[in-house]
Amino acid sequence: MSGTVALPGDAYRLRDMNIIVPTTTLSNSPDTVEMLRHLVAFDTTSRHSNLALIGFIEAWLDRCGVPYRRSLNADGSKANLHAIIGPNRPGGLALSGHVDTVPVDGQDWTSDPFTLREADGKLYGRGACDMKGFVASMLAAVPDLQAMALDKPVHLFITFDEETDMAGARRLVEDLAESGLSPDLCVVGEPSLMQPIIAHKGRLAVKVSVRGQSGHSSEPHRGVNAVHAAAEAIAYMAAEARRLAKEGPFMDGFDPPHTTAHVGTASGGTILNIIPEAAEFVMEWRHIPGHDPYAEFARFRDFVSTTIEPAMQAVAPGTGFSYEIVGELPGMGLAEDHSLSSLVKQVTGANAAGFVSYGTEGGVFEKAGLACIVCGPGAIQQAHKPDEWIARSQLDACDGFIRALARRHEAGPA
């Protein structure tokens, strides 16, 4: 574990980026709303570095005497933090949240998205719901968790790039392997209205590029129309979406209860009287746990190679399709009777745990061997939009949840 270096004026210097982060405005005993106000003030849109915010959090952990470990992305512009409260050893329980956010560009906000505003019991600001609210609750809870004199470690995970490619979670998994300080259980605090979520779909996204042969549109037989070829493949995906909805496989609890197939973007061609020599589109499968998306991808490639490409290559041998995987997220599936599910249901008072169709870092952590569940404040419908907000009552519930979770986990089996 490593800390930062105190500088005059109660500031901390991020060694690798030479960024000064003042910390004098944070009170000695900040509550969750005060902490959230500071977190929201940092513009951590995924395209930006998060190091200034990480430096702020490190300063708070230093003040509390909590050890932590930083892991960086390839160019050193972004960092994860892994802090441990209690015994500095593997095992125990992790609380996990990301601090990157989606952009505000083009959104019609009624106030500054990076200044937390409260009105009618709602707290407005970019990331307030997704998911700086949970991170604020984690950080504000540190002194109370320390006061419990824990025999089992409570880990804090703070990650980057969840909103893009989950690179932060993947890097953190690597760092856990390097440090040997992996927990056994993990609660990912994505917005769920403080209800436990034990399963979510995975995702495979693929960019498809089509190479045709140009020519004059008056002589279509002398060229290979890349847009037509792409359209045939897109039509196949539309048919596959209908097949999956009709034939499954199915898993009750998801909405919809089956794997979905989708083409999200498509482009090609230049002007109408030229046979388009290039086209591309991006497609995805959001798959239920246990359904292999690569098998669906193989079906797609087989259709293309047997139905579309032969006619293309009969005209021009160099034409055809190529593929690039641009996104991959494992699904998450925790057994209803797992001890972590039982623990979170007991603490929240929920009678059952739910399923969601969106993905989280829980899938990455579960693939690495951590039992994961999703439970956090706010509703996903409040995130990513102008005037993103979270109810103060949800933060209050999360504050109680974190402390009760730690106490109950401490009292449970070793």
58, 162, 296, 366: which is the annotated catalytic residue?
Answer: 162
Q: Is 399 a catalytic residue?
A: no
Q: Which of 10, 208, 174, 172 is nearest to 94 (CA)?
A: 172
Q: Is 100 a catalytic residue?
A: yes
Q: Counting Cβ atoms within 10 Å, is residue 338 exposed (0-12), middle (13-18) or buried (19+)?
A: middle
Q: Contact at 8 Å (CB) between 346 and 190?
A: no
3-state helix, strand, coil in the chain (%, to 5): 35, 25, 40
100, 277, 388, 399: which is the annotated catalytic residue?
Answer: 100
**DSSP-assigned states of every residue in 310-357:** HHHHHH-TT-EEEEEEEEEE--EE--TTSHHHHHHHHHHT-SS-EEES
Sheet strand arrangement including 117-119: 117-119, 122-124, 389-391
What phi and psi values does residue 302 have, to the nearest 5 degrees? -65, -40
Q: Contact at 8 Å (CB) between 11 and 22?
A: yes
Q: Contact at 8 Å (CB) between 118 and 151?
A: no
Active-site annotation, residues: 100, 162
